[in-house]
Structure 1
Amino acid sequence: MIAIEHLTRRYGTQLAVSDVSFTCTPGTVTGFLGPNGAGKSTTMRALCGLATPTSGTATIGGRAYRDLPNAGRHVGVLLDAGAQHGGRTSREVLTLSAMVLGVDRRRVDQVLEQVGLAGAPAGKRVGKYSLGMRQRLGLANALLGDPQVLVLDEPANGLDPAGIYWMRGLLRDFADRGGTVLLSSHLLHEVEAVADQLVVIAGGRIAARGSKAELLAGTGTLVRGLEPGRLAAALADAGIRAVPRPDGALVAEAGAEAVGRATAAAGVVLLELRDADGGGLEDLFRTLTQEPGGAPAPTPAAPRPLATQATEVRS
């Protein structure tokens, strides 16, 4: 099981994530969502021992990644598909990993077959691979140690539609056999198709977490006014956060009674007031990660350069 508890990470004076808490249980795929710079990568790096929490903890099976014996046999990690030696073949890359992990080298052929790189692609240098093929190799490396947990950051990036469908089946099968998957992706439709649990982060803080069924059941109160500007102002004055929809309506994060009272007090004429329909993950994401008026939620400053972080990890 993955457990993130009150995780905070600062880079100097800059706050990357603040008091982040959620869990990923065996047998589930957890979709970890948020806009660029929201704190997803920082959280996943802290989980995988590449960033030290300023406070709080990030554990796998109750232990920090650095404390796991032969961590690759417990956790498969794919954070950057480009971080592979371009001069080696995929078979060579996986054979070296197998030697480090202490797994039978026959496992190399098994995972090459599993990710669709068996045969000629296995002898091709990684530098000649497309991004989608690099993603497949990254997944093969993550699966090589037969782990119980997968931590994947944008694993579908570069995959064609058939590849995305394949990856969805692979992750679903992994979870159905008792595995734990933490999946970060901007492909919301694919996350919606495969995830059991959802965690949404915005501005370095958790905006929502829960089962997919709970979070997609509804997204607030839909309200439409004769004068949209006055309607938005009335909700803001009442302290009600609202996100505009493309059709001109607003989705307010409050019940219909609260919205109705706020608009009545301001003398705003309403044309529509009802519970918002569950509009799918895309609507939920937009509602949770935008400020009133439609601007993206503010995000913390970017982490320090990788070279600086690498120095910290080695210390």
Structure 2
Amino acid sequence: MISVENLTKAYGAQRAVDDVSFICEPGTVTGFLGPNGAGKSTTMRMICGLTPPTSGRATVAGVPYRRLGNPGRHVGVLLDASAQHAGRTGREVLALAALTMGLDTQRVSARLERVGLGGASAKRRIRAYSLGMRQRLGLAYAMIGDPAVLILDEPANGLDPEGIHWMRGLLRDFADRGGTVLLSSHLLREVEVIADRLVVIGNGRILVEGDKEDLLGAAGTLVRASDPAALEALLQRMGLTGTRTADGSVLVPSDPQTIGPAAAAAGVVLLELRPAGAGGLEEMFLRLTAGTETGAAAR
């Protein structure tokens, strides 16, 4: 399991990640979503021990990444598909990884075949690889040690439709066999297909997180009032907890038929009242991140 507890990373007065908490459980794929600059990569780097947090902690199987013995046997990481030495071949990259982890190099050929880089592709220098081929090699590298956890930052970048379909099956099979996957991606429709849980981050803060079906299938109601404080007080009296979205609306876990009459009776003027979630993950994502500093750039 991956556990992130109150992670914060500040650069001077700027908080790149601000009090982020979530968990990724065995047997699940967690989609980690957010616009460019939202804090996804920084969070993943803190989980992997590459960036020290200002406060908070992250553990894998209850242990900080830096304390794991032979970490590649426990956690497979792909944060940058272009991080490998450009002068080495695909086979050399995996062979060195196997030697470093104390593994039999005989497994290298099978792992290259599994990601579609067998034969002549295994003998080519990394500098001659396309981005999609580097992504495939990065996945093979991440999985060479048979880890129980995968942490992947934009692994579908550069993959063609067939490659994306292949990767989806690979990760789904990994999770179905009990593995834990934390997956960052801008391909929302692919994440919607493969993910079991969702974590959406914006401006360094968690905007929403939970089971995909709960978030999309029972998304609740979007409400906006002329007096936000009056709306908040009404929701408290109704025993409901609203989640404020980036565009100023409030996502309420109830239906319009319940909220509308209650607001009218309380004299709360509503400017918006409509079901949320009908457009799937893409609409939810755009709604949550609309108006953020990085949201416009991501679109």
Q: Using structure 2 for the length normalisation, give the TM-score.
A: 0.85
Q: Say yes or no: does 1:296 pair with 2:296.
A: no
Which residue of structure 2 aligns with residue 100 of structure 1?
100
Which residue of structure 2 aligns with residue 7 of structure 1?
7
Deviation of 1:286 (Å): 1.4
Which residue of structure 2 aligns with residue 157 of structure 1?
157
Asked if the contact 2:135–2:159 (Cα under 8 Å) also holds between the matched residues in 1, the reply is yes
Asked if the contact 2:222–2:275 (Cα under 8 Å) also holds between the matched residues in 1, the reply is yes
- SS of residue in 1 equivalent to 2:53: coil
- Which amino acid is the alignment partner of residue 292 of structure 2? P
Deviation of 1:277 (Å): 4.8
Which residue of structure 1 aligns with residue 251 of structure 2?
253
Deviation of 1:239 (Å): 6.0
- Which amino acid is the alignment partner of residue 296 of structure 1? T
Cα deviation, 1:192-212, whole Å, max 9, x if unaligned, reads: 111111111111111111111
* Cα separation, 2, equivalents of 1:187 and 1:127: 26
- SS of residue in 1 equivalent to 2:136: helix
Which residue of structure 2 aligns with residue 191 of structure 1?
191
Which residue of structure 1 aligns with residue 226 of structure 2?
234
- SS of residue in 1 equivalent to 2:226: helix
Map 1:155-234 to 2 at 5 A. Answer: 155-221=155-221, 234=226
* Cα separation, 2, equivalents of 1:69 and 1:289: 39
Asked if the contact 1:235–1:259 (Cα under 8 Å) also holds between the matched residues in 2, the reply is no
Deviation of 1:8 (Å): 1.1
- Which amino acid is the alignment partner of residue 176 of structure 2? D
Change (3 A) 1:61 1:91: same
Map 1:41-52 to 2 at 5 A. Answer: 41-52=41-52
Deviation of 1:264 (Å): 9.6
Change (3 A) 1:267 1:97: closer
Deviation of 1:267 (Å): 7.1
Deviation of 1:263 (Å): 11
- Which amino acid is the alignment partner of residue 101 of structure 1? M
Which residue of structure 1 aligns with residue 111 of structure 2?
111
Which residue of structure 1 aligns with residue 125 of structure 2?
125
Change (3 A) 1:3 1:233: closer
Asked if the contact 2:35–2:294 (Cα under 8 Å) also holds between the matched residues in 1, the reply is no
Change (3 A) 1:298 1:81: closer
Runs of at least 5 residues in structure 2 that lack an aligned partner in the other structure: 233-243
* Cα separation, 2, equivalents of 1:120 and 1:33: 36
Change (3 A) 1:218 1:106: same
* Cα separation, 2, equivalents of 1:18 and 1:49: 17
Change (3 A) 1:15 1:276: closer
RMSD over aligned CA atoms reads: 2.6
- Which amino acid is the alignment partner of residue 194 of structure 1? I
Which residue of structure 1 aligns with residue 241 of structure 2?
none
Deviation of 1:99 (Å): 1.1
* Cα separation, 2, equivalents of 1:251 and 1:279: 17
Deviation of 1:289 (Å): 1.6
Deviation of 1:56 (Å): 1.0
Asked if the contact 1:235–1:242 (Cα under 8 Å) also holds between the matched residues in 2, the reply is no
Task: State the identity %.
Answer: 62
Change (3 A) 1:265 1:47: same
Q: How many residues align?
A: 280
Which residue of structure 2 aligns with residue 55 of structure 1?
55
Asked if the contact 1:252–1:259 (Cα under 8 Å) also holds between the matched residues in 2, the reply is no
* Cα separation, 2, equivalents of 1:150 and 1:242: 30
Q: Using structure 1 for the length normalisation, give the TM-score.
A: 0.81
Deviation of 1:77 (Å): 0.3
Change (3 A) 1:262 1:200: farther
* Cα separation, 1, equivalents of 2:245 and 2:265: 13
Change (3 A) 1:262 1:46: farther
